[in-house]
Structure 1
Amino acid sequence: MPRLYRAARRSSGWTVGAIVFFCTATACAASGQDAAATAPVTGRRKPPVLASKATYPAKTEIILVAGTSRAPATIHPAGQTTYSSDRSSFGNQVGQTVADMVATIPGVSFAQGNGPRDTIVSVRGSGDRQSYGLKNLQVLEDGFPMTQPDGTARADLIDPHAYEGVDVFEGPASTVYGNYAINGAINFRTRKGADIHGLELGSDFGSFGMFNNYATLGLGNQRYDLMVFASDVRGNGFIANSNYNTSTENVRLRVSLTSSDRIILKFVNNVTDAFLPVRLSLSQYRANPYQQGCYNAASAAAGCASVSLLVNGRYGTKEATSPQAAGLGRFDRRTIVGLRHEHDFNSHTTWRNQFTYDQRHVDQPTSTTSFVGPYNSYNVSSDVTNQARIGGAPLETFGGVSFDYLDYGYQTYNIMPLGGATRGAMNSDSYGHQWNLGARFQEDWHFAPDWHVVVGLGGTYSDIGATETLYSYSASGTARQYVTANRFYFNLAPEGALIYTPSKAWTLHTRVGTAYGTPSYSNFFITPQGQYGNNTHLKSETSVGVDLGAEWHPTPDINIQTTGFYEFYSNELVSQSAGVNTVGSYTFNAPASQHRGIVLGADWKPLPKTLPGARVKLSYTYDNQIYTNYTEVLSNSTISRSFSRKGNYIPGVIPNFLNARFLYDQPDGHLEGLGGYAEVTWRDSYWLDNASLLKAPGYALLNLEVHYNPPARLGWVHRLHWYFEVQNVANQTYIAGATNISDSLQASGRQATASTLMNSTGSIYAGSPRAYFGGVRIRL
């Protein structure tokens, strides 16, 4: 059920601005509830307070929610457009990637990244211009940061079987979430041990050799709650050279030390062993979307992609080699350990301290070079939340500080055409750091029963220092070039929100939010030609966004939420690919741009009496993003020319996307527990280049699913669950992910036309053809 804000149910309906105290530390311990789980995903939690109705306005009803309630899903940053998806939306299906968790969330789209579970999750277009990971978002899990200090977060860690739900906070959000929260934040919530209450074993299997074995252990009582999850998934992939094996471990432990002290331990480990195809041009995609018959590049079929590798690994002759023959892939490990301590000074004030260590070690021969190195990051935060009253109205004050630090050292090596991603000479190396020191403050005042106002201010000081050494080789020897970046950034982010509930059925909200994102070290060292070099002039991107929204809830069977947004960007960081035989995407600042659109979500039970198990879920997003001030300079070997992009659409952004899911679950009778859904997903076509010359075609997909959860009256059979689903029923050929491509200048001084851009490589991955999946799970 979508929710905009923290809210408490009162006698006349949903009141925005009233406070929900889910449970005190003592009450939580007594019920087995995790008090920390009642925290917003920023890491802040409600102080453990219970008060009588007499201490609040007469209209307010105080509710205590204990046991296995979904309290975390109902607490969100006040005034910020927020949607949630829980296990009922994704727990009965194959659950291969995070895409299965967010498919029904308005404002969220997804694309294929570099690897089987590397899903690019985009909020209001945040990641539509990326080739991997979750960008321009702060990502958390159970309140612990999953985004490293350079803004990098990846979805490889996420196996949906381990999770209870996900909350998405949409719009500029740096006041609370700090650097890189340009388009908001996402918090993933793992399952609670008390809810699992035992051991679950499961297997998923299906097309293209996919097989996932997983186990979940859950235990909990008055003093602790433990969840342990492990999975191993492997498959052949549907594109040549896309076989993979990924293992994940996820642990969460909460211990109540005393009635006023709690600790939460978090551990996540992921190993990704995946071979990778290369991204195609639009022409190659149309000719051979799944890259079949391409192993031998010299006699490859039409539409095959290849990389040009130095024969001796240093200089001179190059040889076209297929991804299979070269051995391109990703062989990465990510380990995260976090510890949080919560202390209640009294019934009104809570102090939280948290430490997280995050190591990412990469070995990525993904193109003409192999990228190798460790990334160690540390995150420390401390915050205090206090409840008080002003003029009889509740006031929540929140203040916190945080510090995160990343040190890295990587090397890149030329790949030789010998198979197995054989390394040649070193191409470059880079060493450096990035740290962010931030503070945030927020006042949340319920100044009247039906009114709620929030004001806040956050700021971050960032320091980025890095040195890159470039190596070039010739018959006469080795030459070195040094590039140094020492940049300092300071950004502020104020915000304000106002929420009004005029009646039981309506809630209205408006918000002005701001955000910022500094460049990362990786942006500094790739030139417009897609090669390692100097790009150290980049500025921070900043945004100011206005949201105006409403939620209509006339009956328990209808909930509709819609928000219009208008966001103004300065120095927006935009990335684009220069082709497959380059080392990465080039990043530039667009001086001014605007994002505007509408997000709509609906949840409807059309026939609650005759078909109580029928339900319709709809999510739709319109996202219009344009440059309002940007001049691009294109060059060839003899001339350079400038082209204004003012009024052009920002490439990579899907202007319209829709998900409609028609569900049915039999609530009683002989078929109780039997259910399924039919789902239609539509993505509009979108531009691939700054000149708005070439589009990626849109698509529509139909998915079907059926599942069975036997009722408790069937005895031991109740412990079994099974499902079967068909994805892409009509067997459509479609684009699952496409990165921006660079425009070019012809010898005549004119821009290259769409027919030329169609042959620009390094952009497109095809989506899966028709696929069948099944699974079974047993609770012991």
Structure 2
Amino acid sequence: MRLKYSIFALIALNANFLSAETINLEQMSVTATKVEKATKEISESIAVVDEKTIEDKNILNIQDALQNIPGVIAESSSNSPSPRLIIRGAGLKARYGVREIMVMKDGVPMTDPDSFTRFDFIDMQDVSSIEVQKGPGSINAVNSTGGVIQLITKSVFDEDKNSIKVGVGNDNQKNVNLKLRGAIDENDFASFTFSSRKIDNSWRDNNEFDTTQATLKYGHIFDDESTIENELSYTESNLNLPASMTREEFEIFKQTGKQHDTSNQWQNSARDSKIVSLNSKYEKEVGNITYKPRFYFNSWEHYHPVTGLINDSDDNKVFGTDLEFNAAHKLFSKDAMFVGGVTLKMDKTNDSKKYQYRDIQTQTVTSGWPPSSVTQIVKTLSNEKGLLAGTEDSQTLLYGTYLMESFKVTDKLGFDISARVDKLKFDIDGNEITTYDYSTKSYKAGIGEYAIDNSFTLLSGKVGSTYAITDNTNIYASIAGANQAPTTSELGENEDLEKSQSVNYEVGLKTRTDDYSSDLALFQNFVDDEIIQIKDANGDSIYDNAGKTDKKGLEYNLAYDLTSSIQVGGAYAYSNFKFDTFNESVRGSLVSRDGNYMPFIPKNQYSLFAAYNLANGFKTRVTARTYGSYYMDNANTQKYEGYDLITDFMVGYEKNSHNIQLNINNLFDKYYASEASKDVYGIESYKAASPRMTMLTYTYKF
């Protein structure tokens, strides 16, 4: 109760303190409501990472862009563009990568219909801004209760200088980026972007990374002023995924900053991929209606050695369209906007294969009565393919429709009402010849031929309202809900999984002035049948519906211009996420976890920053972030203490067409875990965060 009083006192103090300030030209969102709108006018929590921040921090990975946003957890255990993302607890179930969160690029979903996201083919050096919507109910969010991350790339129609950027750093870091853009004639424009990155990560085993990306864009303005913009891109990415550590090995890492010769079985995990993508977006105004159809296609392949088996898939196709329109009209004698559209997306995989590891170290173990022997895998020696373990064909189809009405009743009071309905269908056929048995640490006979034919109807919607307390301060409230379907891999583990239902209640305060910006959000999120990952012995993941979870939280961030040259700010998130009802399976028995805290989510998380920019071109920026303690397991038997004030530093000088800057991440070279967990048998696992990384970058614009 004391916390609630403090929150509402903070709202009142902010409104009173800022009531006399002047109005600022604040950041705009172009995705939250599918039309351009000031973030202060949006009835939900939204964060915008602008182009200057991306450039100043020399952001090359999505986690570097998001890790200081309150309520967002962005951690990479491989020091590469393969982060684990969690928004307000959603995404926690992912073994790796992203679940329950929709990631989009220029309106095109990067997230598969079953909620899996590949970051391999997002070139952050072509991204001009990032918008993050938190919680369920977004008009963009298909099968995503956690929220939406929208990446907006540099449009071929926008005036922009050509540039070349080169960077070098420790651990053999190398980065090259070339951007060319120009007008072919008064109606035709083209741009080309090329990026190449490499890092050895020699401080630990099996963690080299390199990527090559090329993007060609072409845009045309028709005589009726309608436009079409096309993009063709190619990505080749090679990423070695490092092994986790035991508690004893983690203690060695904390002393030395090195991770070598660990005891983990799976020493040769990786994800090597090639991706070709094409998308086209058209925009035309007819009277008060604007039509915005989008069409996209991509073809991808990957070689993905993981725990137990090697995935080899080279025939994957994605087709999709989003047929959107906006209709401007009057309601209550005020300007209003109606947005509607239909979507269709199909993912098709042909003849995907799984293999046993060919090169392994084994040992024979005899146990039981009568005695029986089993050949256990002690360690992999390479990621070369062995015997065929299985084949699979799959097709995932998603189609739906959405609509939204945004209007004002008075000059101060506005509403956003949105809803969408989607159908998700899985059609999977396969043959499991052999599988890896976690209990015996060996391969065993599989289940043979199998088929999964399942479908889910997914509903989401939101009712939100904003009210202008003053000319520069708005208060908002919203109620939003959405369904989350299980993924194909989760259904393979448990065909009885049900879709979850997330309902979020939120109030907040947003202020924008000439020298001050702040956002405060207070929310409570109830989830029924939440899909939870259960860690079995040796890292095996089992999925189950948790019953009910209750997530309460507060998020606050601010930026303040002390002078025309100095800006300071910070962000804070308080998270109280618990299981209301959850029975966890332990050795075949159900154990109640009712009232326990959800693992990996700290109660307290905050960041601070200071930036200094002079008119003569000198600039510097310091950012520090702290991640509080959290429980390592559903049973709440042990905590990891998190980390304090991991500091990133930038200093640079920009003059005319030249820019040189030094970026140092983890300035004080602290050794800590990006993730710590504990399975139901008490076995601890730690994934190391990167020690100090330094890069010197030179950019020339012409």
TM-score by length of 2: 0.87
Q: 1:634 aligns with which of 586, 589, 597?
A: 586
Q: In 2, are the aligned partners of 1:192 and 1:218 still within 8 Å (CA)?
A: no
How far apart, CA to CA, are the structure 2 residues paired with 1:622 and 1:369? 39
**2:524 paired residue number:** 566
**2:553 paired residue number:** 597
**1:332 paired residue number:** 273
**1:643 paired residue number:** 591
Indicate how the Cα distance of structure 1 residues 119 and 196 shifts in structure 2: closer, same or farther if over 3 A, else same.
farther
**2:679 paired residue number:** 742
Letter matched to residue 662 of structure 1: A
Q: Which moved more, 1:396-405 or 1:212-221?
A: 212-221
Q: In 1, are the aligned partners of 2:75 and 2:83 still within 8 Å (CA)?
A: yes
1:411 has 2:353 as partner = yes
For residues 314-353 of structure 1, the aligned pairs below 5 Å read 323=267, 327-346=268-287, 348-353=288-293
Q: Secondary structure at the match of 2:65?
A: helix
Alpha-carbon distance, 1:114 to partner = 5.3
Letter matched to residue 485 of structure 1: I
Alpha-carbon distance, 1:724 to partner = 0.9
Q: In 2, are the aligned partners of 1:514 and 1:543 still within 8 Å (CA)?
A: yes
Letter matched to residue 507 of structure 1: N
Alpha-carbon distance, 1:129 to partner = 4.0
Alpha-carbon distance, 1:291 to partner = 9.1
Q: In 1, are the aligned partners of 2:21 and 2:472 still within 8 Å (CA)?
A: no
Indicate how the Cα distance of structure 1 residues 675 and 180 shifts in structure 2: closer, same or farther if over 3 A, else same.
same
**1:537 paired residue number:** 496
Indicate how the Cα distance of structure 1 residues 293 and 202 shifts in structure 2: closer, same or farther if over 3 A, else same.
closer
Indicate how the Cα distance of structure 1 residues 293 and 390 shifts in structure 2: closer, same or farther if over 3 A, else same.
closer
Alpha-carbon distance, 1:603 to partner = 0.6
1:116 has 2:83 as partner = no
How far apart, CA to CA, are the structure 2 residues paired with 1:688 and 1:503? 45
Alpha-carbon distance, 1:385 to partner = 1.3
**1:423 paired residue number:** 385
1:766 has 2:688 as partner = yes
Q: Which moved more, 1:247-256 or 1:158-167?
A: 247-256
Q: In 1, are the aligned partners of 2:210 and 2:238 still within 8 Å (CA)?
A: yes
Q: Secondary structure at the match of 2:56?
A: coil
Q: 1:657 aligns with which of 597, 600, 605?
A: 605
Q: 1:223 aligns with which of 179, 187, 192?
A: 187
**1:188 paired residue number:** 151
Indicate how the Cα distance of structure 1 residues 263 and 13 shifts in structure 2: closer, same or farther if over 3 A, else same.
farther
Alpha-carbon distance, 1:267 to partner = 2.9
Indicate how the Cα distance of structure 1 residues 566 and 581 shifts in structure 2: closer, same or farther if over 3 A, else same.
closer
For residues 8-23 of structure 1, the aligned pairs below 5 Å read none
Q: In 2, are the aligned partners of 1:40 and 1:77 still within 8 Å (CA)?
A: no
Q: In 1, are the aligned partners of 2:24 and 2:514 still within 8 Å (CA)?
A: no
**1:679 paired residue number:** 623
1:212 has 2:134 as partner = no
Q: Which moved more, 1:453-462 or 1:123-132?
A: 123-132
Q: What are the ranges of 5 or more consecutive residues in structure 2 without an aligned counterpart?
A: 1-19, 361-380, 437-443
How far apart, CA to CA, are the structure 1 residues paired with 2:192 and 2:554? 39
**1:369 paired residue number:** 309
For residues 26-425 of structure 1, the aligned pairs below 5 Å read 40-41=30-31, 44-45=34-35, 74=38, 78-113=42-77, 116-174=80-138, 176-193=139-156, 197-220=160-183, 223-237=187-201, 238-288=203-253, 294-295=260-261, 304-307=262-265, 323=267, 327-346=268-287, 348-373=288-313, 374-409=315-350, 410-417=352-359, 419-425=381-387
Map Cα deviations across residues 651-685 of structure 1 (whole Å, 9 max, x no partner): 12233221111110012xxxx11010122110112
Alpha-carbon distance, 1:196 to partner = 5.9
How far apart, CA to CA, are the structure 2 residues paired with 1:586 and 1:457? 32
**1:28 paired residue number:** none
1:482 has 2:408 as partner = no
Q: In 1, are the aligned partners of 2:40 and 2:511 still within 8 Å (CA)?
A: no
Indicate how the Cα distance of structure 1 residues 271 and 388 shifts in structure 2: closer, same or farther if over 3 A, else same.
same
Q: In 2, are the aligned partners of 1:720 and 1:778 still within 8 Å (CA)?
A: yes
**1:462 paired residue number:** 424
Q: In 2, are the aligned partners of 1:129 and 1:651 still within 8 Å (CA)?
A: no
How far apart, CA to CA, are the structure 2 residues paired with 1:195 and 1:437? 32
Q: In 2, are the aligned partners of 1:697 and 1:735 still within 8 Å (CA)?
A: no
Q: In 1, are the aligned partners of 2:389 and 2:435 still within 8 Å (CA)?
A: no
Q: What are the ranges of 5 or more consecutive residues in structure 1 without an aligned counterpart?
A: 1-10, 23-37, 46-71, 296-303, 308-321, 527-534, 711-717, 745-755
How far apart, CA to CA, are the structure 2 residues paired with 1:293 and 1:285? 8
Q: Which moved more, 1:488-497 or 1:413-422?
A: 413-422
How far apart, CA to CA, are the structure 1 residues paired with 2:40 and 2:323? 19
Letter matched to residue 367 of structure 1: T
**1:444 paired residue number:** 406
**1:69 paired residue number:** none
Q: In 1, are the aligned partners of 2:582 and 2:594 still within 8 Å (CA)?
A: yes
Indicate how the Cα distance of structure 1 residues 646 and 15 shifts in structure 2: closer, same or farther if over 3 A, else same.
farther
How far apart, CA to CA, are the structure 2 residues paired with 1:336 and 1:75? 31
How far apart, CA to CA, are the structure 1 residues paired with 2:29 and 2:475? 24
Letter matched to residue 31 of structure 2: V
How far apart, CA to CA, are the structure 1 residues paired with 2:259 and 2:78? 21
How far apart, CA to CA, are the structure 2 residues paired with 1:490 and 1:596? 27
Indicate how the Cα distance of structure 1 residues 102 and 552 shifts in structure 2: closer, same or farther if over 3 A, else same.
same
Letter matched to residue 525 of structure 1: G
Alpha-carbon distance, 1:42 to partner = 6.7
**1:713 paired residue number:** none
Q: In 2, are the aligned partners of 1:558 and 1:603 still within 8 Å (CA)?
A: yes
Map Cα deviations across residues 522-563 of structure 1 (whole Å, 9 max, x no partner): 11223xxxxxxxx2111111201011000134x411111100
Indicate how the Cα distance of structure 1 residues 121 and 472 shifts in structure 2: closer, same or farther if over 3 A, else same.
closer
**1:695 paired residue number:** 639
Normalized per residue, which structure has more strand? 2
Q: In 1, are the aligned partners of 2:77 and 2:688 still within 8 Å (CA)?
A: no
Q: Secondary structure at the match of 2:489?
A: helix
Q: In 1, are the aligned partners of 2:518 and 2:557 still within 8 Å (CA)?
A: yes
How far apart, CA to CA, are the structure 1 residues paired with 2:55 and 2:85? 19
State the percentage of identical aligned residues: 16
Indicate how the Cα distance of structure 1 residues 333 and 694 shifts in structure 2: closer, same or farther if over 3 A, else same.
farther
Alpha-carbon distance, 1:644 to partner = 0.8
How far apart, CA to CA, are the structure 1 residues paired with 2:212 and 2:679? 36
Letter matched to residue 130 of structure 1: A
**1:728 paired residue number:** 666
Indicate how the Cα distance of structure 1 residues 165 and 178 shifts in structure 2: closer, same or farther if over 3 A, else same.
closer
Letter matched to residue 499 of structure 2: S
How far apart, CA to CA, are the structure 2 residues paired with 1:80 and 1:595? 17
Q: In 2, are the aligned partners of 1:94 and 1:774 still within 8 Å (CA)?
A: no
Letter matched to residue 506 of structure 1: T
Letter matched to residue 522 of structure 2: G
Alpha-carbon distance, 1:170 to partner = 1.3
How far apart, CA to CA, are the structure 1 residues paired with 2:92 and 2:671? 20
Alpha-carbon distance, 1:339 to partner = 1.1
Alpha-carbon distance, 1:368 to partner = 2.9
Q: Secondary structure at the match of 2:529?
A: strand
Indicate how the Cα distance of structure 1 residues 417 and 599 shifts in structure 2: closer, same or farther if over 3 A, else same.
same
In the comparison of the two structures, how many residue pairs are matched? 650
Q: In 2, are the aligned partners of 1:381 and 1:400 still within 8 Å (CA)?
A: yes
How far apart, CA to CA, are the structure 1 residues paired with 2:586 and 2:272? 36
Indicate how the Cα distance of structure 1 residues 391 and 133 shifts in structure 2: closer, same or farther if over 3 A, else same.
same
How far apart, CA to CA, are the structure 2 residues paired with 1:266 and 1:593? 42
